Amino acid sequence: MSKVLIMPCLDIKDGRVVKGVHFVGLQDAGDPVESARAYCDAGADELAFLDITATIEGRKTMLETVKKVAAVTTVPFTVGGGIKSAADAEAVLAAGADRVSMSSAAFRNPALIDEAVKLFGREKVVVAIDVDKNAALPSGYEVYVDGGNTATGKDAIEWAKEAEARGASIILPTSKACDGAKTGYDLPLIRGIKEVVSAPVVASGGAGSKEHFLEAAQAGADILLAASVFHFGEIAVPDLKEYLAGQGIAVAK
C-alpha cells in the first residue's frame, strides 16, 4: 500500500457510537449515520463499524444499522462484530459493507477465513485480533477473544501470520492495553506483525495526538484507525492528513 489511509472507527452499542478505555467505561459519542456522513465529508479514506457487544451478547450484527450507515458512506466500509459464519458475513455484505471483519469466530474456527475468502473473495475479508501483552509467549503478545475478555494462550504474531496465510486481505490488531488511553499505538506490536505478513496492517488502539499517527505510520502501519480523537473533535481528519504529509508520509488526497 503506497499511501497511508485514515480510518475512523464507529464502535456501536445499542445503535449508538460509543467509546471507552481498555474496552470498558463506554461513553456515548453520537449517531452512527451522522458520524459516518461527517467522516466521509471530511475526507476519511476508510470507515470501520464494530458492533462491540454482538459477540458477548451472542447475537448477530445489527444489520439495520449497517444498512443506514452504508447508505451515507462513500468510502470502503468494514463491518465487524457477531460474524460467526459465512451466512452472517453474506448478510453483512448484502447490507452494504465492503468488507467483513472477523475476530473471535475466526480464531475459534480458522476454516471460516478460508470459506469466506472462497465465497466472497480475499479483498472482502479482514481478520481483527484483540491483543494484550504476555511475556510468557514468544512475541510477548497474546490473542484475546469475546470483545477482549477471554485470554486464549495463543501468540498474536503467529495468529496474524496464519490469518494472512488463510487469505485475510487486511490484519487489524487492537492493543487492549493502549485502547482509548491516548498514550500512543503499540508500536512493537505493529512492527512484529509487519515482519511476518505482507497484507496491509491497521494500527488500532491508543491514538491521542497527531504524533502518534506519525509514529504508527513510521512503524509500518498501512491504515491508521482511531475513534476517540475523531469522535470528540480533538483531531480533524483534514488536519491530520496535512500534518502527516508535512512529515513526509504519503496520504490519500
Distance between start and end Cα atoms, the chain: 15
Which residue would you say has higher pLDDT here, 245 or 12? Answer: 245
Residue 47 forms beta bridges with which residues?
77
Please report the DSSP string for 201-214 in residue order.
BEEBS---SHHHHH
Residue 138: predicted pLDDT? 97
Determine which helix (DSSP H) or strand (DSSP E) holds 58, and give its type and residue range.
none
Instruction: pLDDT band for 51, please (50, 70, 90 cuts).
Output: confident
φ, ψ dihedrals at 36, nearest 5°: -60, -45
Residue 27: predicted pLDDT? 64
Instruction: pLDDT band for 57, please (50, 70, 90 cuts).
Output: confident
For range 113-138, the mean pLDDT = 97
pLDDT of 20 above 70: no
Q: Does 252 map to a domain? A: no
CA atoms within 13 A on the CB side of 19: 21
* Angle between helix 63-72 and helix 32-42 axes, rounded to 10 deg: 30
14 is catalytic: no
130 is catalytic: yes
Q: Does 83 map to a domain? A: yes
Instruction: pLDDT band for 117, please (50, 70, 90 cuts).
Output: very high
Domain count across the chain: 1
For 139, which DSSP code? T
Residue 177 is part of a domain; what is its CATH number? 3.20.20.70
**Strand extents, DSSP E, the chain:** 5-13, 16-21, 24-30, 47-51, 77-80, 99-102, 125-133, 141-145, 150-155, 170-175, 202-203, 223-226
Residue 82: predicted pLDDT? 87
Q: Give per-residue pLDDT as tens, 166-201.
A: 999 999 999 887 876 788 999 999 999 999 999 999
Q: Does 114 map to a domain? A: yes
Catalytic residue chosen out of the listed positions 130, 155, 186, 222: 130
Q: Does 147 map to a domain? A: yes
What is the residue range of 158's domain?
5-246
Q: Does 175 map to a domain? A: yes
Q: Does 253 map to a domain? A: no
Q: Quote the CA–CA distance of 8 and 228 in Å, as a whole number.
A: 9
Q: Quote the CA–CA distance of 204 and 12 in Å, as a whole number.
A: 16
Q: Give per-residue pLDDT as tens, 195-242.
A: 999 999 999 999 999 999 999 999 999 999 998 899 889 999 999 999
Catalytic residue chosen out of the listed positions 11, 45, 88, 132: 11
Residue among 42, 165, 190, 174 at smallest CA distance from 113: 165
Please report the DSSP string for 152-183 in residue order.
EEEEHHHHHHHHHHTT-SEEEEEETTTTTT-S
Instruction: pLDDT band for 13, please (50, 70, 90 cuts).
Output: confident
Q: Does 182 map to a domain? A: yes
